[in-house]
Amino acid sequence: MDIRKVTPALSVSPQVSVQDIAALQGLGFKGLINVRPDGEEDGQPTSAEMEAAAAASGLAYVHIPVVSGKMTDADIEAFRQARSTMLGPVLSFCRTGTRAITLWAITQAPTLSNEAIIATAADAGYDLAGKAADLDARRVSAAQAHEKPSAPQAAAHTYDVVIVGGGAGGLAAAASLLKRRPGLDIAVIEPRETHYYQPGWTLVGGGVFSRDQTKRAMAKVMPKGVKWLRAAAAGFAPERNSVILESGDEVRYRALVVAPGLKLLWDKVAGLKDTLGKNGVTSNYMFDMAPYTWDLVKSLKGGKALFTQPPMPIKCAGAPQKAMYLACDHWARTGQLDGIDVAFHTAGGALFGVADYVPALMGYVEKYGAKLNMLENLIAVDGERKVATFDVTDANGNTEKVERPFDMIHVCPPQGPLDFIHTSPLANEAGWVDVNAETLQHTRYGNVFGIGDGTSAPNAKTAAAVRKQAPVVATNVLSVLEGKQSAAIYAGYGSCPLTVERGKVVLAEFGYGGVLQPTFPKWLVNGTKPSALAWFLKEKLMPALYFDLMLKGHEWLAKPEIISHKPVLHEAQEACDFSETKAS
């Protein structure tokens, strides 16, 4: 728990878990104020769950669902009432604690100076300097005074570049920008304190990596020279070049890079969230869950093991079958495989979206005796009964529900755009950041760019794609700042190192339309064949390439193509099949 004391009677924190509540009671807290709406984030406990746990621990509980970036007077009054009626000490929490500290600040405006409020918030780790004008207005309104208005506030600072998201895309773009223009005034909006190397989670689930090898403190990977705004973005106002934070404050920019990632839609599979991490149900798509995958693999001596893949798009589309291959390899090495019935269930119509890699992968499906089930979409998991339900579509397009028992099931959840992107003016009809597939420039707002998993570009959603996208975005952002046309081109590169056994990888590299884009000559690494050298790259080289090169602006083998005229999509790219490229 990250508890930050504001006053003797009030502390704030990021989201706490249901399990934390008993510990909070032990720390002396008497009440909880939850200022977060339900359903904001994957894995977020509901208010009803929090209230029940609070009651069981003898804590008072109040829920004030403050919509991120849209705090109302009613919210403020509800917080004031809760604070006046609840015995202290009280803990108030939201996603990051920002809404909680902002509510405290506004309710204190009539009695405390701006300097005292802002300094107290800063001591707790929150920057409320941008709230000075709002605090002044609240103070004047509360006093019903007719004094001379306060001196005009200085114009809000405008950054050269604002980057939304501190994942692979956001940090790589920031590093590439600073490589080209040291001293550029850049702000990165990111609430998390930890940065994750998500491509490593498959290896955690396969017993190769430890979980801690895949994380770094955000402060350690944030590029030197950027302003890190520890807050969550809630919306966009591109007509006034502003990003709206969950506190309601706005951050102004000359150019914007949107790198939000995507959302794991666990609730689209009925019963899945309730049984994850127990009853043999796991997923390498969660940092906390990948070690459980390895525990299940080691402990399973016989029975049925299912591996599922939902409809596209998803990030790291090879990960569902990577989990299967590494599990089967372990079972084969320990003599258990013959007693385990392995099945791969994919909602798609092909094992892999780029045909050149299918023969090698099918060889391993056959080697491990796995059953391949096409057009089967997981829709429900009953952990207690150990039964998974699929929508199964036949050759005529008819769909029926089929129940399949399991002893272990590895689930890849459905995925989609984040809510604050989906509802923003930057989104296309499907909810993704609407960008030109080649320049990664927004289709309607010329000073806005997208990078990574949250964009509409029809490339594979992988960290390797970001490695090629970051130099393109950096080059084109600087062109816009200089009043020039975007000239750098992204050809859709993505990479999926398919770990088909411990010690061998099929290194799939391809671009738009499934065109192969190998990094190395065929005599060194033939990506269509399993390779020990490719395994070395995956296990040893790629984590270092990620942390020590890509996130620091070293663009190894990632120089962008530059054109001297306004870019247009090549005909082959315009015609590329979205589902096939996403399936890769």
Task: Give Cα separations from 416 to 199, 333, 422, 430, 479 (angstroms).
Answer: 19, 37, 9, 9, 31
Residue 128: what pLDDT? 87
Q: What is the spatial distance between Cα 517 and Cα 339, in angstroms, rounded to a whole number?
A: 40
pLDDT higher than 60, residue 454 = yes
Residue 60: what pLDDT? 92
Mean pLDDT of 396-418: 96
Residue 346: what pLDDT? 97
* Beta strand ranges found along 492-573 (DSSP E): 494-501, 504-510, 530-531, 561-562
Mean pLDDT of 65-94: 88
Each residue's pLDDT tens digit, 521-558: 999 999 999 999 999 999 999 999 999 999 999 988 88
Give me the half-sphere count of Cα atoms (radius 13 Å) on the Cβ side of residue 255.
Answer: 27
Residue 248: what pLDDT? 84
Percent of the chain surpassing pLDDT 70: 94
Which of the pair, 153 or 25, is modelled with greater confidence? 25
pTM reported for the whole predicted model? 0.79
Q: What is the spatial distance between Cα 397 and Cα 297, in angstroms, rounded to a whole number?
A: 35
Residue 155: what pLDDT? 58
Q: What is the spatial distance between Cα 290 and Cα 292, in angstroms, rounded to a whole number?
A: 5
Superfamily name and number for 158-262+417-488+541-579: FAD/NAD(P)-binding domain (3.50.50.60)
Q: For the chain, which residues make up each domain, given as ranges?
A: 4-143, 158-262+417-488+541-579, 267-411
Residue 142: what pLDDT? 64
Which residues are CB-neighbours of 327 under 8 A, at least 6 positions away?
206, 293, 297, 305, 307, 342, 410
Each residue's pLDDT tens digit, 304-342: 999 999 999 999 889 999 999 999 999 999 999 999 999
pLDDT higher than 80, residue 174 = yes
Same fold, 158-262+417-488+541-579 and 267-411: yes
Residue 576: what pLDDT? 33
Helix (H, G, I), strand (E, B) or coil at 117: helix
Residue at 514: amino acid letter: G
Which tokens in the block code for residue 499?
């770990």
Q: According to CATH, what is the number of the domain 267-411?
A: 3.50.50.60
Residue with tokens 């065929």: 522
Which of the pair, 492 or 57, is modelled with greater confidence? 492
Residue 565: what pLDDT? 52
Which residues are CB-neighbours of 544 under 8 A, at least 6 positions away?
none
Beta-bridged to residue 371, according to DSSP, are: 343
Confidence of residue 135 (pLDDT cuts 50, 70, 90): confident
CATH number among 3.40.50.1100, 3.10.450.50, 3.90.190.10, 3.30.300.30, domain 4-143: 3.90.190.10
Residue 582: what pLDDT? 36
Q: What are phi and psi of 160, to 5 degrees?
A: -60, -50
Q: Which residues are part of the catalytic machinery? A: 316, 496
Q: What is the spatial distance between Cα 121 and Cα 5, in angstroms, rounded to a whole number?
A: 10
Confidence of residue 137 (pLDDT cuts 50, 70, 90): confident
Nearest to 443 by CA among 488, 405, 407, 486: 486
Give me the half-sphere count of Cα atoms (radius 13 Å) on the Cβ side of residue 426.
Answer: 34
Mean pLDDT of the chain: 90
Range with the lowest mean pLDDT among 56-70, 263-277, 278-292, 440-454?
56-70
